[in-house]
Structure 1
Amino acid sequence: MGRTLDRIAPHYRGAHGPVEVEIGGIVAVRHEMQTVIKEDLTRARTDRPADHAGAAGHGLRQRGGGPAPAGHRHRRHPRDERGAGADERQTQPGFHHWGSFAEYVALDHADVNLVALPDDMTYATAAALGCRFATAFRAVVQQGRVAAGEWVAVHGCGGVGLSAVMIAAASGARVVAVDVSPRALELARTFGAAECLDATGVSDPAAVVRELTGGGAHLSLDALGSPATCAASVNGLRRRGRHVQVGLLPSPDGTTPVPLARATALELELLGSHGMAAHTYPGMLHLVRAGVLRPDLLVTRTITLDAAPAALAAMDTAPGAGVTVIEPWS
């Protein structure tokens, strides 16, 4: 539960404004789209002109029929023998090939992986959208189906958790923010949390959430990704509540214990959420431009690319709070 690192780059404003890589951050695009510079920081080639780059999200579809989610780079492949899309063939920097803490990173099929940004959006705002804010938007609004007046619990107030707090509060929900960092909880309250729970030394955070919400949250998110926060999120729900797993759950054997007995007894929904599809960005960007959502406020520090290794190492012992933006050419 702590600080999130993101990267920023100058961007090009074409006929339809600057463009953003679907997996997050800012890009710069030469008019003929010969070169794309991504937040992570990217070089790609395509024959499509820059003023068509905003029409992303139409190229791939999941097996279930919907557009493929963001969070990965999409690769073009012919439709398989079952007639469905090729969503499982996505790739992601740092997982499938070289990572993204660099001045340039290769970006395949930019016409699918780019999203147009408004002309008046600042570098910091666009960089803060990145993986965490768009991911949180999908988790809260699309997967979680948040409704005004509901109680929403957010376990873990790093970049994606604070984004979720802001988005849920802006949707009219009452938010309980859970973390072990006083500074993170202070930011969560600033972004609209009605209740803040410091879980340090708390034996049963789920019980406290149920008490604070008068019986349990309607919607709860594990925005950290640990067995403890996953279980607390599920156990903190009321009857027919919705748990959304946002944080990744790495484990030695690839499995994570989940309190399914409670899920069965209370008819809970257990959902996963991973990134956000390019075609759904306009709704989020409209709220950002209107000032309803303020991802720029998540940025608490700016560093150079050379300082990134030390900042990453420090996250284990002094994670801080908010989002750190890396300026690779400063």
Structure 2
Amino acid sequence: MTRIMGIKWHAHCILHLLFFILNFQTNNAAVKRSIDMSAAYSLNTDDRLPKSVLPISYEIHLEPNYEECTFSGLIKIKLSWAADSKKISLHAHHDLNINDRKIKMHKINQKYGDENSTDYVAVLRGSRIPKKNIYVVYLKETIMQGTECILEIPFDGNIWSSAEGFFTGSYENTTYFATNLRLNNAHRLFPCFDEPGFKVPFIFSITRPKELVALFNTPLNQSTEHPKLNEYVIDFFEKTPPMSTFTFGFFISALQLYKNTNITTFSQPIIQMWTLKDDENQLEETYIKIVTIYNKIKHYFGTHIPLSKIDVVCIPDLPLARPVDNWGLLLFGFVGDAQLVE
């Protein structure tokens, strides 16, 4: 029984890695999807956003309270006006708390490329559209077509036990924190343009306890001591390529990195396997298959994934029907030993 379950888990893992690889391609140095995901992950028509204001990039910082299972954050959205407008429509889940009095916005000096200008635009108020996950920011003045601005929104929310949005789980004595932003669940975590058609870069940082490891879509750039919390650090990650909000993801726990010196890998992407438990035999077999299949696919199609790394996290008893395939970060579940024996 153990052998059968192991084979099923290996196949499940490899099939989703194959889907992940085939779902991306490089074209004229730009990152594009090989299929249009808008139809696959469509929102209710009533929750579609107007196209008068469009995102250019996101900068997000999260400060989780790991003991109380809450979090606070700040998002800075670089915006472009495709048409004259004095309001901005975003997706924000009703469980996400936003204090409209703390929302700020300033214009970018496009002539000099100054994103830190002091040309502030007065924000009148922010309000939710009833029965929809849409939050509207109303401005005092009309912003003209072609203008670019930085919108800053502080927010806070809850870390859930159900595997949606920002959630937590545990295995034996190990607790983990993770994201599952499909379908269109990014607005559970931060206010954004939560439609697959909006593909923009992200800059991300997060606070974590020193004894834990944080993984994100991109490699870690640097870690700094938290200015107020002695036992915490802030991780700053490399800027992502343009990507949809539902492919944003991170994972935080007391992780173990699986290392294998018996197989030759490649410079990029670096494939690393992480786990909450030490199960070297199962990890070795899966790791070898993943690397072998990736090499064969890369040579067959004559292309590669435009990523510097792929982190594969193996989570016992992950409460999801399917793996979470974020950009550069894959989360897989498998049953525990007790269930395998049964």
Q: TM-score band, normalised by the shorter chain?
A: under 0.3
**Radius of gyration: which is bigger?**
2
TM-score for the superposition, normalised by structure 1: 0.23
TM-score for the superposition, normalised by structure 2: 0.23
Structure number with the higher helix fraction is: 1
Q: Relative CO higher for 1 or 2, CA cutoff 8 Å, sep ≥ 6?
A: 1
